[in-house]
Structure 1
Amino acid sequence: MRLIQLSDLHFGTERPEVVRALIDRLQRLKPDLLMLSGDITQRARPGQFAACRRFLQRLPPVPILAVPGNHDLPLFNLWQRLHSPYRHFRGCFGHELAPVFKAPGLLVLGVNTTSPTRHVDGRFSTRMVRQVAARLKASSAAVKIVVGHHPVDAVLASDEANIAAGAESAMRCWAAAGMQLYLAGHIHYPFFAQLSQRYPGVPEHCWTGQAGTAVSHRVRDHKANSFNLVEWSPGRSQLEVSRWDFTSTGPGFLCVEQRQLPLRPGGSSSGRSG
């Protein structure tokens, strides 16, 4: 299985040459699932969602698991933000804001960390944490991944304020329920980290992965446009995660970082999706 995480596309601010390079690379990688971890548009405008649809139509025809980011809610149309905040997002990706993908041995859960009452910040509600934990516990999948928009960890001190409210409770609860990997975006700063580094006591096989902005010019700290790739096959005892950066001096997106993440004990033998 090849799972691609694209985050913070911010259509409306995209770089055409990066979009072309990303399409070329994804056509070559031939993923089994595309995971869009929020901020798909810059201002949640219909034309920006339409640009995203045109982009997706040029990619291999695979399932898409998309969750909203704070930029996918209207900012200036206050009536729509309060009464129909996800209207255009749902018009593009369907009604479900917490989608689920299942394959033999694999479970991917999307979570909506945004709120119409919050302009930027994200949160994990108590109800969300309970519901996701129940789904994780009920699954017999060997690999369990959760995808949200807001981060649960940070490298830069300036990003500490961007960690979603309730992150520690969510990560401890979901790790205990069998989560292997939490994927997010929002901060445009890519990295992989063990959750136990921030939350002592969380099993060492539990990780978080942050993706940078895939195609927008809104990069941070001189980080390149990037996406993440997660690879796994039934029977394997580890996940392979990698980061792919755009380079204007080479053939588009290139792999710049790879990590092998051991699965939880006993997690590699299951071939059921549950």
Structure 2
Amino acid sequence: MRIVQLSDLHFGTETPAVLEALLAACAQIEPVLVLLSGDLTQRARRHEFDACRQLIQQLAPAQVLAVPGNHDLPLFNVWHRFRAPYAGFRRVFGWQLEPVFETPELLVVGVNTTDPRRHVDGHFDTHSVEQVAGKLQSSSAKLKLVVGHHPVDAVLASDEQNIAGGARAAMQRWCEAGMQLYLAGHIHYPFFAPLSRRYPDLPDQAWTVQAGTAISTRTRDGKPNSFNLIDADLEMRVLSLTRWDFNAESGRFDPAEQVQLPLGV
């Protein structure tokens, strides 16, 4: 089972050659599911969402699950930000802001960490945390993932302020309910880490999967455009996490870092 995580596309700032290389890499990987972990647009404009829709069509036959990021809410149009903040997102992805993808083997639950009252910062709403926990607990799937936009861990000191409010309580609750991976974006700095690194009371087998920016010019700290591949061998109960980086010289994405961990908590 192959799942691709794309994040922080920021359509409106995309690099065409990187987008072409991304589509080629996805065609090679042939994922069953593509997860879009927010900031799909730069300014929530109609043409930016239309470009994202075109990407989704090109990713077929893979199914797509998306959650909004803070950039997917209007910034300058105050009326729309507070009266219809998710209108553009919903025009492409439907009404549900916390979508669910479920098969007998896989459960993916989306969580909306954005708030129209907050320009950048994210948080975990108590009601959403309990809703997600209920879905995790009621599922018998072997692999259970939660995807949001804002991170729950950081590598750089400057990113500490970007950790979503209520992260500790949410991770504790979801790990108790059976979550194995939490996937996020927002900071454009990719890494994989066990949740126990920041939250020592959590199981070592539960990890956070942090994505970089897939196609935008808004890379940071020398990190290239990248995306993540989750490869689950359900029979062997092994999970592989691989980061694919864009190589400007070759004009393609290649595997750059991989970790393997047992499937289960």
| Superposition TM-score tier, normalisation by shorter sequence | over 0.9
Q: 2:243 matched to which residue of 1?
A: 243
1:46-65 pair list within 5 angstroms: 46-65=46-65
Report the more deviating stretch, 110-119 or 47-56. 47-56
Per-residue Cα deviation, 1:104-138 (whole angstroms, up to 9, x for no partner): 31100000000100100000011111111111111
Residues in 2 aligned to 1:259 and 1:41: alpha-carbon distance in whole angstroms: 30
Give the match's secondary structure for 1:258.
strand
What runs of 5+ residues in structure 1 fail to find an aligned partner?
266-274
Residues in 1 aligned to 2:94 and 2:236: alpha-carbon distance in whole angstroms: 33
What one-letter code is carried by the residue in structure 1 that aligns with 2:234? P
Residues in 2 aligned to 1:125 and 1:104: alpha-carbon distance in whole angstroms: 28
Report the more deviating stretch, 239-248 or 51-60. 51-60
What one-letter code is carried by the residue in structure 2 that aligns with 1:123? H
What one-letter code is carried by the residue in structure 1 that aligns with 2:163? I
Report the more deviating stretch, 36-45 or 124-133. 124-133
Report the more deviating stretch, 12-21 or 256-265. 256-265
Q: 2:37 matched to which residue of 1?
A: 37
Residues in 2 aligned to 1:232 and 1:103: alpha-carbon distance in whole angstroms: 14
Residues in 1 aligned to 2:56 and 2:177: alpha-carbon distance in whole angstroms: 33
1:233, distance to aligned residue in structure 2 (A): 3.3
Contact 1:7-1:40 within 8 A present in 2 as well:
yes
Report the more deviating stretch, 172-181 or 54-63. 54-63
1:1-274 pair list within 5 angstroms: 1-264=1-264
Residues in 2 aligned to 1:52 and 1:144: alpha-carbon distance in whole angstroms: 26
TM-score, normalised with respect to structure 1: 0.95
Residues in 2 aligned to 1:179 and 1:156: alpha-carbon distance in whole angstroms: 25
1:251, distance to aligned residue in structure 2 (A): 4.8
Give the match's secondary structure for 1:58.
helix
Residues in 1 aligned to 2:223 and 2:27: alpha-carbon distance in whole angstroms: 24
Contact 1:66-1:99 within 8 A present in 2 as well:
yes
Residues in 2 aligned to 1:186 and 1:259: alpha-carbon distance in whole angstroms: 22
Residues in 2 aligned to 1:172 and 1:264: alpha-carbon distance in whole angstroms: 16
Residues in 2 aligned to 1:237 and 1:28: alpha-carbon distance in whole angstroms: 24
Residues in 1 aligned to 2:77 and 2:236: alpha-carbon distance in whole angstroms: 49
Per-residue Cα deviation, 1:61-119 (whole angstroms, up to 9, x for no partner): 22110000000000001000001000010001111100011123110000000010010
1:263, distance to aligned residue in structure 2 (A): 2.0
Give the match's secondary structure for 1:244.
strand
Identity of aligned residues (%): 60
What runs of 5+ residues in structure 2 fail to find an aligned partner?
none
Report the more deviating stretch, 129-138 or 78-87. 129-138
Residues in 1 aligned to 2:95 and 2:60: alpha-carbon distance in whole angstroms: 23
Q: How many residues align?
A: 265
Residues in 2 aligned to 1:18 and 1:74: alpha-carbon distance in whole angstroms: 26
Residues in 2 aligned to 1:103 and 1:243: alpha-carbon distance in whole angstroms: 25
TM-score, normalised with respect to structure 2: 0.98
